[in-house]
Amino acid sequence: MKTKYLLIFSILLSISNSTFAQLLEIKGRITENTSSEVLPGASISLYSIYDTAMIKGTFADPTGHFKLEKLNTGNYFIVCSFIGFINDTLSINLNTNRYLGDIALRASTLLLDEVKITGRKSIYQNHLDKKVYNVQKDILSETSSVSEILQNIPSVNVDINRKITIRNTSNITFFINGKPSALLRKNPSAILEQTLASSIERIEIITNPSAKYRPDGVGGIINIVLKKDADKGLSGHVRSNVGNEGRYNANISLNYGSEDLKLFGNYGIRHSNASILYTDERTYKDNLENHNSFYSEDGNSKTNALSHNAFIGANYDINDFNNIEISGNYFIQNSYHDGSSEISSLDKNSNTDYNFTNIQTNKELEEEGEANLTYEHSFKNNEDHTLTFEAVYSSYNEKEDKTFNQNYTFPTTITETSNYIIQKSGNQQEINLEYALPLGEDAEFESGYMGEFIYDNIRYNKNGELSQFKFNQQLHAFYALFGQSIEDFSYKAGLRAEQTNINSHLVRPSDTLIPNNYFKLFPTVHLGYDIADNKNISLSYSKRVNRPDPDELNPNPEYSDPRNAEAGNPNLKPEQIHSVELGYRYSHKKYSINSSLYYRYKYDAFTGIFTNIGDSIVLYSATNLNTRQSGGIEATLSGRILKKHTYNITGDVYYTTIDATNLGYSNNKSSISGNIKAYSLIKLFKSSFLQLNGYYYFPSITPQGNRSDFYYFNLGFKQNLFKNKASLTLTVTDVFHTYKIKYNIQSAELNQTTTIQRRYPVVYVGFIWRFNNYKDKEKIDFDENGLKK
């Protein structure tokens, strides 16, 4: 059967004038229910009733009329919406051309119970070029951070240290509201860990972006779409959550809308408390003297962080053809880290070298801000014929002050104190110019320019010893794209050209300039074919790049404690990647299947190397491998059981082959690894919902070792109150306290085993109150088709 589909796909690539089945259309007009006046600009969206995937969308013209063309027969539902009005939904069994007549929308009121359209979208949706996770459908989002909710998304993983990966790579580009985010450039994990998921509307995963987007990010793009609803009048919500170990967070969202002006803002405060247990056992090998020494550490650490995060913006329609938006983000975090560990070292004869207790404290201040200006012009001949200009400015400041007291009990009773001060600052400016030109009804040309200017200044103070590293990068990029739909077949091809100029400046201890300038081309191709109403396949290719960041280039060691350090490599080359992905989607009345077969070939691939540099100190640094090849298959099964139980199961199995012969390893290393995620939502009563999430991760390899398998479960409960004006929530992370990871490192000079485990499960109880005409777009409800009207 697969051979048959691939044959059809190949024929369509070479024959553009094939004969296709007759296609249908839907027409209608959008009006206001009391005056019968037309509503130009109303939004009309067509969804498949099988899996709620969006099929087509359009807007009402100046006379209120709309038309959806080139549709296959099948069962659909249409959602009609307009600012300040209650949405209307119509079910359609399409087997001939349909004229729906006037669809009358009612003005919204302050009564939330009058809004009858619920459950339009599933929690997870798969589109041709991206995967969409509707955060508001996830009960855990009521109390969780963005970092915590990311681990529920197919393709995305977040480890116990909040390291975010897509298909086994942490090299990811982050967008906010569809635009590259300078705010998330330096330390995305820390900011997303302290940002409330309740401020997010949806998260989009683009694993193989087109040439329109920057090629950075091996794993692709995570686009975080913030809530900024602004119906006419004032609306909003307030929510607060309290948890165990002193955790709490709160969030307020306000929106105001008039005919031409929309104002939106969001403020969140979050106090987190992360308690970790860990062990570290090492064997140091001295091959010259043919003996080993041993090191053992057993400890715990706790991090208290208080953060404030604010987002504010305004959108103004100057006239029918010009729009301007101004927005800003501000993030500040104060954190305090303390921990203690018992450390002992043995010589080759198992005699004690020393014993001591290490007491550490760490104070950190992180501050980041971003301002964004966007202007969009729509040409009179076609609203999709647009010219967009965007300017972004961001800056950051970080200061970390670490103190370590090592209280020796053997061979003598003394205390050694070490102090490390790390200061980082910088800014980024970016300008974008984008042009989109529709060519008829089925084709479009896009082109644009991006200019990016980055400056970083990194300073270390280790017990009075100073070091400094400066980084400057200029990037100029031009791109062009052409896309077209030919009946059931669609394609988009693009090319991006980039000139990158980098100056790395090691200021001290030695004054050294290291320039690195290069020009590269990045082609992309996306193909899609609708086999039937409920089946389609897609194929995409992109060339991508992973540029070293300033920390990966800075050769000055940064100490996390007196026994562990990390340094960059000023000679690290950019990682080059060829990425191919084949996708298949099938929808049934009660379930849908989305699958992807992907492959990446990397040359000059990044890897981390651990080295014993003496005095029981292990140094981590990055270097280039010859090649790294990885590929896998990812499949998601979504559906429902009976009327009140929906589920989502995702499996990702991948292989990795590493060629590290340039590092002295004679044989390639290969492994098969992966993960399984399961989501289940049960409607217990009319307004009560229970959510269960399970995760299992297979073992994985590194050039020097491996990581163990692990598993854990999360739980969420939600009770809506007062006709959905309020809700109570309960969430538990790591319900059975099974989240424990073991890492092994083996090299010619070092064997190391470390374990990490959360001290306790995380429990939150929360409350949300919605006022005026604020409404959650993704309220949870079901009927026999997964849709309630």
Q: Is residue 192 part of a domain?
A: no
Q: Is residue 179 part of a domain?
A: no
Going through 182-321 in order, the beta strands assigned E by DSSP cover 200-206, 221-226, 233-243, 248-257, 261-286, 291-319
| Beta strands at 65-71 and 558-561: parallel, antiparallel or unpaired | unpaired
Q: Is residue 211 part of a domain?
A: no
Q: Contact at 8 Å (CB) between 564 and 618?
A: yes
What pLDDT, in 10s, does the model give residues 35-91?
667 787 788 888 877 656 678 888 887 678 888 888 888 888 888 887 667 788 888
- b vs e for 274-298, b when ≥16 Cβ sit within 10 Å of the residue's Cβ? bbbebebebbbbeeeeeebbbbbbe
What percent of the chain stands above pLDDT 90? Answer: 37
Q: Give me the residues paired with residue 284 across strands.
A: 293, 750
Tell me, what CATH number does 27's domain have?
2.60.40.10
H or E segment and range at residue 191: helix 188-193
Quote the distance between the C-alpha of residue 194 and its chain's center: 14
Tell me, what CATH number does 507's domain have?
2.40.170.20
| Beta strands at 669-685 and 618-624: parallel, antiparallel or unpaired | unpaired
Q: How far apart are CA 738 and CA 693, in angstroms?
A: 14
Question: In a 10 Å sphere around its CB, with 0-12 CB exposed, 13-18 middle and 19+ buried, how is residue 163 labelled?
Answer: exposed
Q: Is residue 228 part of a domain?
A: no
Nearest-CA neighbor of 228 among 207, 199, 208? 199
Q: Per mean pLDDT, which range of 253-257, 307-311, 405-409, 740-744 is the poorest?
A: 253-257
**pLDDT value of residue 58:** 82
- Domain end, chosen from 107, 134, 151, is at 107
Residue the block writes with tokens 């073991």: 742
DSSP code for 338:
E
**pLDDT value of residue 229:** 59
Q: Contact at 8 Å (CB) between 788 and 782?
A: yes
Find which of 212-221, 449-458, 505-514, 623-632 is predicted with most confidence, using mean pLDDT: 449-458
Number of domains in the chain: 2
Question: In a 10 Å sphere around its CB, with 0-12 CB exposed, 13-18 middle and 19+ buried, how is residue 770 labelled?
Answer: buried
Q: Per mean pLDDT, which range of 15-19, 92-96, 234-238, 599-603 is the poorest?
A: 15-19
Torsion of CA 612, 615, 619, 623, to 10 degrees: -40
Return the higher-pLDDT residue of 352 and 128.
352
Q: How far apart are CA 655 and CA 632, in angstroms?
A: 6
Nearest-CA neighbor of 392 among 638, 172, 177, 619? 177
Q: Contact at 8 Å (CB) between 391 and 433?
A: no
The number of residues in the chain equals 789
What pLDDT, in 10s, does the model give residues 301-341?
888 999 999 999 999 999 989 999 999 999 999 999 888 88
Q: Per mean pLDDT, which range of 265-274, 399-408, 664-673, 677-686 is the poorest?
A: 664-673
Return the higher-pLDDT residue of 346 and 115.
346
What pLDDT, in 10s, does the model give residues 398-428?
999 999 998 998 888 899 899 999 999 999 9
Phi, psi of 261 (to 5 degrees): -120, 135
**pLDDT value of residue 634:** 93
What pLDDT, in 10s, does the model give residues 131-161?
888 887 888 887 788 888 888 888 888 877 7
Q: What is the model's pTM?
A: 0.76
Q: How far apart are CA 762 and CA 274, in angstroms?
A: 9
Q: How far apart are CA 73 and CA 54, in angstroms?
A: 15
Domain span holding position 79: 2-107
Q: pLDDT tier at 15 (50, 70, 90 boundaries)?
A: very low
Q: Is residue 114 part of a domain?
A: no
Q: Is residue 116 part of a domain?
A: no
- Domain end, chosen from 41, 75, 107, is at 107
Q: How far apart are CA 154 and CA 166, in angstroms?
A: 9
Q: Is residue 596 part of a domain?
A: yes
- Domain end, chosen from 107, 127, 147, is at 107
Three-state SS string over 405-427 comes to EEEEEECCCCEEEEEEEEEEEEE
Average pLDDT in the chain: 84
What pLDDT, in 10s, does the model give residues 265-315?
989 999 988 888 989 888 877 755 555 778 888 888 888 999 999 999 999
Q: Is residue 43 part of a domain?
A: yes
